[in-house]
């Protein structure tokens, strides 16, 4: 079966970000003074556990970013035709989860449907009963089977992770690089082992059950939650592609050149920040909606339409959120330009462009880094709220917001359908909490002001 | 001070014009009035006459920015931009798509919005500041660490969860107050949104206030006060709290005027007929006149908040003079 790779707009932006991130990492690795604050982060075990969780999320998101379309069997006049459905490598990996859809709701780990339906039994009578799920349970079932599977899966994951860590350690001792002491600390190993156990448990259970139940149209909630990760990550990261250049160039230019440049840039960001951001986002998204609706021929597949909407949402979020960082950078640049070394450079006749790139921008980098990692969690949370208000991602796109929106009214049912909401909120909590903890560690390591107050105490 | 205020108010005018230009560009340049008419009338089977009629009814049948057909001042004034923007400066917001006066709607909906937002703001501020003071008092002890950890967890939870969880727990499970609604005997309707509003802000706000207090407590005057033999409580409540009020006011006063706007989420979840709910309805019905009016009102109130912040500085800090 052949396929063609598909690169959606958001995929391209993710790859761009990834490349930029790798460049930054390799640059930092080569410069000792840049590695120093990161070493402080690496010593913080809470930060490292958060980083571990974040990288697992990132892995799922990245696998979900490699898209392709499968070739269809029936050929149209000799030409190969590709399915309109855009799949990702992640979809392929968890294919059973994606394809095993039931009729409607079912509780986590249940073997029967949530609601009764009319079934014709062996003798021809129509009875109403909780019919069996198509893809749950096997020959053995019940709580003993669930326990057995959870136990085996957990132990398997635990052992696998233990082996990996052992191999890594052995490898590290023999590697020509010096062993980075403090990188692998016991809380981190403990966290890694328990996460591996949890994953093993989930994987083993997911083979035979719907671990987190199914939603209204019978889709597996675990699958939906995992797919939502990519949307959340994209909102949190691609937005920085917009905020970063705008805030950096405008903020530094305003602070350095002052005068009319400063006036204009200040005017622009005062106008933007004086509009309540939800309203500005709503207005912009409404307009994008009209544009997309009036040009249906722009998009080849439904996925590409939803994707473009996601990219636009990032763009709009970026346009509304750069002003805070810009103001910070302007203030810092105003302070820096009065420093002796800048004045020395000016009197030597160094060009403004060179002063900016060599002396000012490297000295505001820590502010940018702190602002970016702090913004991430806010953006992930904002996506859910915006989708609820109706100005978020495309309703066909799987995201935490659409999951919550779809499950919100089901709380009123009796018995309650709580699992979809719980799954969305749970995954979001883990992602945002890890991001917040990591951001705190980064701030503590990079903020020069904070270090000084720590010294005082 | 009067001269300063007049200058600030005059400075607000170009900003408001900028806001108007921006929303105008968003609404009418990205999509032509024809597109909007088609959206409103439904995509299918729209005759050009129907579009013209709709545009005339809603005042969109003029040129966008410059009317070349008219002489003199009419060149600027007889356009959509002028007609739709100029009146906003005298707070006349025109009519919504269903023909009701927007100004009148804003006037009647202000009350319910304030009834929720004002108590949330005041109770919230008191709670956050006292919680932060408590953490500062016990700084670097297990209590402080527990408090900060709690804050980080609380601020990582989605705001939607607080609302849905609160409604479920308090109204559905315990039947203390009605789930949603607004009307006679408003108190029982107000309690739940206010409590949820306060709880959902605890995490980020308390942590922020705590960091402000910690910054103040490292300063020299605190050491002097302690050296003079003042008790830690006295230092915290009279000296640190007063000196920390400038950064607190910077963040707090600016949102006071915006309380009028209500909260989009809270109002829509609890069915409160306030301005936030009005805005959400307008967004869902794609009523651009209302959204534009709310954007204008929002930025007007934001600028008012900035001016109020400056005035509040002179109240708490006698050294500040507005010139």
Q: Are B126 and B227 in the same domain?
A: yes
Return the closest-CA partner of residue B25 out of A299, A393, A271, A386: A271
Q: Are B156 and B270 in the same domain?
A: yes
Residue A283 has a CB neighbour count (10 Å cut-off) of 23
Is B211 inside a domain boundary? yes
Confidence category of residue A187, pLDDT binned at 50, 70, 90 = confident
B71 backbone φψ class: left, alpha, beta (φ>0; ψ -120 to 50):
beta
Q: Are B151 and B24 in the same domain?
A: no
Q: Are B80 and B133 in the same domain?
A: no
Residue A141 has pLDDT above 70, yes or no: no
Is B100 inside a domain boundary? no
Q: Are B215 and B305 in the same domain?
A: yes
Confidence category of residue B319, pLDDT binned at 50, 70, 90 = confident
Q: Are B82 and B118 in the same domain?
A: no
Is B98 inside a domain boundary? no
Residue A455 has pLDDT above 50, yes or no: no
Q: What is the pLDDT of residue B96?
A: 78
Residue A345 has pLDDT above 80, yes or no: yes
Q: Nearest CB to B218: which of A278, A385, A456?
A: A456
> Domain residues for B46?
2-90
Is B95 inside a domain boundary? no
Say if CB A440 and CB A35 are below 8 A apart.
no
Q: Among all residues of chain A, which has the CA nearest to that of B172?
A: A412
Is B262 inside a domain boundary? yes
- ipTM, 2 decimals? 0.85
Distances (CA, A) of A257 to A361, A367, A451: 14, 20, 31
Shortest distance between the Cα of A367 and any Cα of chain B, in A, equals: 17
Q: Are B80 and B142 in the same domain?
A: no
Number of domains comprising chain B: 2
Q: Are B13 and B155 in the same domain?
A: no
Q: Are B64 and B121 in the same domain?
A: no
pLDDT digits (tens, 9 = 90+) for B65-109: 666 676 666 666 667 777 777 777 777 777 777 778 888 888 888
**Residues of B253-285 as b/e, b for ≥16 C-beta within 10 angstroms?**
bbebbbbbbbbbbbbbbbebbbbbbbbbebbee
DSSP B25-69: IIIIISS-HHHHHHHHH-SSS--HHHHHHHHHHTT--S-SS--TT
Shortest distance between the Cα of A83 and any Cα of chain B, in A, equals: 28
Q: Which residues of B touch A379 (CB under 8 A)?
A: none
More confident residue, A407 or A21: A21
Residue B132 has pLDDT above 90, yes or no: yes
Residue A180 has pLDDT above 60, yes or no: no
Residue A440 has pLDDT above 50, yes or no: yes
- Domain of residue B301, CATH code: 1.10.3720.10
Does A290 contact B284 at a Cβ distance shorter than 8 Å?
Answer: no
Is B175 inside a domain boundary? yes
Q: Number of Cβ pairs closer than 8 Å across A and B?
A: 128
A166 backbone φψ class: left, alpha, beta (φ>0; ψ -120 to 50):
alpha
Q: Are B150 and B49 in the same domain?
A: no
Is B251 inside a domain boundary? yes
Q: Nearest CB to B31: which of A272, A290, A381?
A: A290
Residue A456 has pLDDT above 60, yes or no: no
Does B39 contact A389 at a Cβ distance shorter than 8 Å?
Answer: no
Confidence category of residue A50, pLDDT binned at 50, 70, 90 = very high
Does A293 contact B39 at a Cβ distance shorter than 8 Å?
Answer: yes
Kindly tell me the burial class for residue A210, based on how many C-beta atoms sit within 10 Å of its own C-beta (0-12, 13-18, 19 or more): buried
Does A287 contact B27 at a Cβ distance shorter than 8 Å?
Answer: yes
Distances (CA, A) of B155 to A90, A258, A399, A444: 30, 37, 20, 18
Q: Name the domain boundary from B57, B90, B123.
A: B90
Q: What is the pLDDT of residue A177?
A: 45
Q: What is the pLDDT of residue A7?
A: 85
pLDDT digits (tens, 9 = 90+) for B1-29: 788 889 888 888 899 888 888 888 877 76
Q: Are B314 and B221 in the same domain?
A: yes
Say if CB B305 and CB A276 are below 8 A apart.
no
Highest mean pLDDT out of A103-112, A114-123, B119-128: B119-128
Q: Which residues of A touch B152 (CB under 8 A)?
A: 433, 436-437, 440
Does A267 contact B15 at a Cβ distance shorter than 8 Å?
Answer: yes
Q: Name the domain boundary from B90, B120, B150.
A: B90
**With the CA atoms of B170, B174, B179 and B182 taken in that order, what torsion angle do they form, in degrees rounded to the nearest 10?**
-90
* Lookup: tokens for B184: 């006679």
The long-range contacts involving A146-150, CB below 8 angstroms and separated by at least 24 positions, are: A146/A109, A146/A205, A146/A209, A149/A201, A149/A204, A149/A205, A149/A207, A149/A208, A149/A209, A150/A201, A150/A204, A150/A205
Helix spans in A337-418 (H): 340-347, 352-355, 361-389, 400-407
Q: Which residue has the tokens 């810009």?
A: A326
User: How far apart are alpha carbons A420 and A431 in whole angstroms?
Assistant: 17
Q: Are B267 and B135 in the same domain?
A: yes
Residue A216 has pLDDT above 50, yes or no: yes
User: How far apart are alpha carbons A229 and A403 in whole angstroms?
Assistant: 12
Residue A183 has a CB neighbour count (10 Å cut-off) of 12
Q: Name the domain boundary from B37, B56, B90.
A: B90
Mean confidence (pLDDT) of chain A: 83
**Residues in B 18-47 with any Cβ partner in A closer than 8 A:** 18-19, 22-23, 26-27, 30-31, 35-36, 38-39, 43
Is B104 inside a domain boundary? no
Q: Does the CB of B173 have a partner CB in chain A at under 8 Å?
A: no
Q: Nearest CB to A283: which of B153, B160, B291?
A: B291
Say if CB B171 and CB B177 are below 8 A apart.
yes
User: How far apart are alpha carbons A266 and B303 in whole angstroms?
Assistant: 14
Q: Does the CB of B279 have a partner CB in chain A at under 8 Å?
A: yes
Does A385 contact B159 at a Cβ distance shorter than 8 Å?
Answer: yes
């Amino acid at each position: 079966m052949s396929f063609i790779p598909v690169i959606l707009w958001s995929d391209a932006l993710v790859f761009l970000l990834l490349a930029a991130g790798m460049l930054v990492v390799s640059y930092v690795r080569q410069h000792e003074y840049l590695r120093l604050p990161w070493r402080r982060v690496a010593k913080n075990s809470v930060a490292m556990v958060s980083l571990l969780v974040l990288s697992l999320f990132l892995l799922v998101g990245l696998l979900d970013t490699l898209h392709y379309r499968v070739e269809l069997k029936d050929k149209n006049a000799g030409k190969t035709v590709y399915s309109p459905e855009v799949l990702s490598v992640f979809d392929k990996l968890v294919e059973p989860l994606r394809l095993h859809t039931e009729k409607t709701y079912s509780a986590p780990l249940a073997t029967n449907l949530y609601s009764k339906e009319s079934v014709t039994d062996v003798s021809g009578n129509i009875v109403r009963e909780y019919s069996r799920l198509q893809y749950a349970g096997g020959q053995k079932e019940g709580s003993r089977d669930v326990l057995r599977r959870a136990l085996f899966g957990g132990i398997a994951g635990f052992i696998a992770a233990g082996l990996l860590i052992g191999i890594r350690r052995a490898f590290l001792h023999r590697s020509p690089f010096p062993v980075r002491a403090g990188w692998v600390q016991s809380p981190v190993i403990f966290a890694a082992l328990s996460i591996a156990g949890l994953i093993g448990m989930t994987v083993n259970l997911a083979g035979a059950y719907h671990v987190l139940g199914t939603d209204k149209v019978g889709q597996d909630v675990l699958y939906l939650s995992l797919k939502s990760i990519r949307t959340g990550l994209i909102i949190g990261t691609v937005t920085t592609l917009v905020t970063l250049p705008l805030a950096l160039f405008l903020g530094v230019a305003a602070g350095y050149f002052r005068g009319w440049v400063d006036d204009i840039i200040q005017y622009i960001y005062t106008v933007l920040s004086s509009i309540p951001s939800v309203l500005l986002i709503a207005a912009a998204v409404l307009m994008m909606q009209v544009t997309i609706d009036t040009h249906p021929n722009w998009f080849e597949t439904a996925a590409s339409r939803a994707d473009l909407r996601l990219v636009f949402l990032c763009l709009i979020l970026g346009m509304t959120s750069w002003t805070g960082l810009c103001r910070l950078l302007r203030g810092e640049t105003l302070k820096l330009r009065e420093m002796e070394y800048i004045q020395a450079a000016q009197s030597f006749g160094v060009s403004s462009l060179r002063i900016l790139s060599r002396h000012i921008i490297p000295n505001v980098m820590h502010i940018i880094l702190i602002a970016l990692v702090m913004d991430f969690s806010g953006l992930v949370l904002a996506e859910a709220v915006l989708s609820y208000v109706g100005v978020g991602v495309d309703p066909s796109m799987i995201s935490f917001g659409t999951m919550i929106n779809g499950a919100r009214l089901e709380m009123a049912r009796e018995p309650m359908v709580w699992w979809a909401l719980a799954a969305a909120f749970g995954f979001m909590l883990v992602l945002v909490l890890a991001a917040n903890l990591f951001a705190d560690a980064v701030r503590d390591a990079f903020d020069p002001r904070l270090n000084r107050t720590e010294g005082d105490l | 001070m009067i001269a300063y205020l007049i200058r600030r108010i005059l400075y607000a005018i170009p900003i408001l014009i900028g806001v108007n230009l921006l929303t105008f560009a968003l609404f009418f340049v990205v999509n032509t009035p024809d597109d909007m008419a088609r959206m409103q009338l439904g995509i299918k089977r729209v005759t050009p006459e129907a579009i013209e009629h709709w545009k005339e009814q809603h005042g969109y049948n003029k040129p966008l920015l410059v009317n070349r057909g008219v002489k003199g001042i009419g060149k600027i004034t007889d356009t959509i931009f002028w007609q739709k923007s100029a009146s906003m400066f005298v707070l006349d917001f025109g009519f919504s798509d269903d023909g009701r006066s927007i100004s009148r709607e804003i006037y009647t909906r202000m009350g319910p919005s304030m009834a929720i937002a004002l108590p949330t703001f005041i109770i919230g501020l008191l709670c956050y500041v006292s919680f932060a003071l408590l953490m500062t008092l016990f700084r670097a002890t297990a209590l402080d660490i527990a408090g900060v950890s709690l804050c980080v967890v609380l601020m990582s939870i989605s705001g939607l969860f607080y609302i849905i969880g609160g409604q479920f727990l308090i109204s559905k499970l315990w039947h203390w107050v009605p789930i949603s609604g607004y009307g006679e005997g408003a108190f029982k309707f107000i309690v739940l949104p206010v409590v949820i509003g306060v709880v959902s802000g605890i995490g980020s706000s308390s942590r922020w206030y705590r960091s402000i207090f910690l910054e103040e407590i490292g300063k020299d005057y605190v050491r002097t006060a302690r050296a003079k033999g003042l008790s830690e409580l006295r230092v915290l409540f009279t000296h640190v709290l007063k000196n920390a009020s400038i950064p607190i006011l910077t963040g707090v006063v600016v949102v006071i005027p915006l309380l009028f706007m209500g909260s989009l989420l809270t109002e829509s979840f609890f069915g409160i007929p306030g301005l936030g709910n009005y805005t959400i309805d307008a967004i869902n019905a794609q009523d651009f006149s209302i959204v534009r009016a709310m954007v204008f009102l929002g930025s007007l109130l934001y600028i008012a908040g900035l001016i109020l912040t400056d005035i509040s500085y002179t109240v708490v800090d006698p050294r500040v003079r507005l010139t």
